[in-house]
Structure 1
Amino acid sequence: MPTVSVIIPTYNRADVLSRAIDSALDQTLSDVEVIVIDDASGDETDAVVESYDDPRVTYLAHETNRGGSAARNTGIEVATGEYIALLDSDDEWAPTKLERQVETIERRGDEWVAAYCGTTLIDDGEASRTWERLKSFVGRHGTTEGKEGGEKLIRDILMEDLHTSAGSTLVVESDVVERIDGFDESFDRYQDTEFLIRVLKRGKLAYVDEPLLRRYPSGGPSADAVRQANTHYLRTFAEDVVELETRGYDITGTHHYTLASLYLQEGRFDRGLAYLRSGLTPDLRQLPGLCYNVYVGLQTQYTA
């Protein structure tokens, strides 16, 4: 039994997939298996994976595209490790990532069942820089990390006050993943966040304060796609949302503010202003971000 099963779902990323696989195989914790799930790619993904002459690498392929959640579940079904580690196919890990996270979990008490780590954002093009700059403003509290604990973190996640990049940072005990039945395949967005919230209902999350993930952003979804996913996400955790809002945490307003920013950035000002009126009142730190979104929206309208 390997210590860690690394789950890498992928779709049409043959050009960058080796970066992720290599970083998983080059870990100082060498007792790993790497499971790549090809979600019916139309490129040379199969050739990339099959070029690895390493018994630690397993290649699985879907006949039809089923989405990231289903791909991860396919990998989880065959995983044999004590821990499950998630890695997006366009990211890469520092060599000590798994070793540091596993030792962090194991030196804590039994209630600590998972760990995440710090992230370094790698700019790989103007579109990515623009999207990441936008996200640093649209969140009510910014992209924070470093918090750890149990169910109380659910509030911070729903309030967008904790961003863990769980899809590439998270390491979880395998028996916990089994008890929560893996990923919810009804989610095509927020899938990693939804998964993490259910993990937190089973145990505590530790944080390794080192930038052990190199993340390569590839742009963001449309405002409409975020709105649809956001509705499903908040309905799924409706009990938590109601309980927190009863205590004075405006979960709905937080998410409406984010949607407002995205619609403004697309130049859809009527929708943006409507969500802005129903969202949380922006503080002074966020005003430059709102102005930036309006500027980008005007540019979008001008070039349309």
Structure 2
Amino acid sequence: MPTVSVIIPTYNRADVLPRAIDSALDQTLSDVEVIVVDDASSDETEPVVTSYDDPRVIYRAHETNQGGSAARNTGIEIAEGEYIALLDSDDEWAPTKLERQVGTLERRSDEWVAAYCGTTIVDDEEANPLWERFKSLVGRHSSREGAEGGEELVKEILMENLHTSAGSTLIVEKSVVDKIDGFDESFDRYQDTEFLIRVLKQGKLAYVDEPLLLRYPSGGPSADAVRQANSHYLQTFAEDVVELETRGYDVTGTHHYALASLYLREGRFEPGLAFLRSGTTPGIGQLPGLLFSVVKGFQNRMSA
């Protein structure tokens, strides 16, 4: 039985997939199995994975595309490790990630069932460095990482005050993953966050204060897709949302502000301004990002 089962769902990412697989195999905690679940890719994913001459690499493939949640569940079903570790196929781990996380959990009491770590976002080559510097000087978004705890963190996640990059940072005890029946396959967005919230209702989440994940920028979903997924997400946790809003936390307004930014960035100013009016008032640290969305929106409209 390996200590950690690494689950890598993938779809048409044969060009970057080796980076993720190699980073999982090169861990200082080498007692791992790396389960790559190919969600019906049409590129060279299969020969890329099967070219690895390492018994720790396991390849599974879906005949039809079923989505990231289903792919992760396929990996979880065959996983034999004490812990499940999640890794997106376009991300990369530092060599000590699993060793540091497993060591952290083993030094704590049984109520600590999961861990995440710090993240470094690899610079976007298309980003304007002067603009990025301006945003950092004016202020940062209110979201943070580093919080630890149990069910009380659900508020921070729903209010978007805590971002964990769970899809590539999270390790969870396999027994807990089995208890909550893995991922909810009705989610095609927010699946990592939805999964983490259910984990937090079973035990506590630890944090390793080191940047052990490299995330690479990639194109995101459309504002309409996020809007639909966001509605499903908030409806799923409606009881928590109502309880928080009764206590004065504007969960809905926080999510409306995020949607406003997406619509503005696409140059769709009418729905963007509508969501901005119903969203929370942005803090000074959010203004550079909001201004960037408006400028980007005008650029998108000019090029359309």
Whether the TM-score (by the shorter chain) exceeds 0.5 is yes
Secondary structure at the residue paired with 2:185? coil
Task: Quote the Cα distance in structure 1 between the aligned partners of 2:101 and 2:35.
Answer: 19
Which residue matches 2:24? Answer: 24
Which residue matches 1:209? Answer: 209
Task: Quote the Cα distance in structure 2 between the aligned partners of 1:33 and 1:128.
Answer: 40
CA offset at residue 286 of structure 1? 2.2
Count of equivalent residues = 299
Which residue matches 2:267? Answer: 267
Alpha-carbon contact 1:116-1:208 (below 8 Å) kept:
yes
CA offset at residue 159 of structure 1? 0.4
Letter in 2 for 1:241: V
Which residue matches 1:291? Answer: 291
Which residue matches 1:3? Answer: 3
- Superposed CA RMSD in Å reads 1.9
Task: Quote the Cα distance in structure 1 between the aligned partners of 2:282 and 2:162.
Answer: 18
TM-score by length of 2: 0.95
Which residue matches 2:256? Answer: 256
CA offset at residue 141 of structure 1? 4.6
Query: Superposed, which structure 2 residues align to 1:194-233 within 5 Å?
Result: 194-233=194-233
Alpha-carbon contact 1:128-1:217 (below 8 Å) kept:
no
The reply on whether 1:192 has 2:192 as its aligned counterpart is yes
Which residue matches 2:34? Answer: 34
Q: Bigger shift: 148-157 or 212-221?
A: 212-221
Alpha-carbon contact 1:9-1:88 (below 8 Å) kept:
yes
CA offset at residue 248 of structure 1? 0.6
Task: Quote the Cα distance in structure 2 between the aligned partners of 1:34 and 1:283.
Answer: 42
Secondary structure at the residue paired with 1:205? strand
CA offset at residue 303 of structure 1? 1.1
Task: Quote the Cα distance in structure 2 between the aligned partners of 1:237 and 1:4.
Answer: 30
Letter in 2 for 1:210: E
CA offset at residue 302 of structure 1? 1.0
CA offset at residue 56 of structure 1? 0.5
1:95-116 alpha-carbon deviations (Å, 9 max, x no partner): 1000000010111111000000
Structure 1 runs of 4+ aligned residues shifted over 3 Å read 140-143
Task: Quote the Cα distance in structure 2 between the aligned partners of 1:191 and 1:288.
Answer: 28
Task: Quote the Cα distance in structure 1 between the aligned partners of 2:287 and 2:217.
Answer: 24
Secondary structure at the residue paired with 1:84? strand
Task: Quote the Cα distance in structure 2 between the aligned partners of 1:291 and 1:21.
Answer: 38
Letter in 2 for 1:33: E
CA offset at residue 128 of structure 1? 11
Which residue matches 1:61? Answer: 61
Task: Quote the Cα distance in structure 2 between the aligned partners of 1:62 and 1:250.
Answer: 40
Alpha-carbon contact 2:141-2:286 (below 8 Å) kept:
no
Letter in 2 for 1:157: I
CA offset at residue 67 of structure 1? 0.2
Which residue matches 1:277? Answer: 277
Which residue matches 2:157? Answer: 157
1:75-120 alpha-carbon deviations (Å, 9 max, x no partner): 0000000000000001111110000000101111110000000011
Task: Quote the Cα distance in structure 1 between the aligned partners of 2:24 and 2:173.
Answer: 18
CA offset at residue 21 of structure 1? 0.5
Which residue matches 2:123? Answer: 123
Which residue matches 2:106? Answer: 106
CA offset at residue 265 of structure 1? 0.9
Which residue matches 2:82? Answer: 82
1:9-65 alpha-carbon deviations (Å, 9 max, x no partner): 000000011100111011110110000000000000000000001111100000000
Secondary structure at the residue paired with 1:299? helix
Task: Quote the Cα distance in structure 1 between the aligned partners of 2:89 and 2:290.
Answer: 32
Gaps of 5+ in 1: none
Secondary structure at the residue paired with 2:302? helix
Letter in 1 for 2:278: S
Task: Quote the Cα distance in structure 2 between the aligned partners of 1:251 and 1:26.
Answer: 41
Task: Quote the Cα distance in structure 1 between the aligned partners of 2:88 and 2:285.
Answer: 31
Task: Quote the Cα distance in structure 2 between the aligned partners of 1:159 and 1:242.
Answer: 12
Task: Quote the Cα distance in structure 1 between the aligned partners of 2:283 and 2:74.
Answer: 44
TM-score by length of 1: 0.95
Identity %: 81
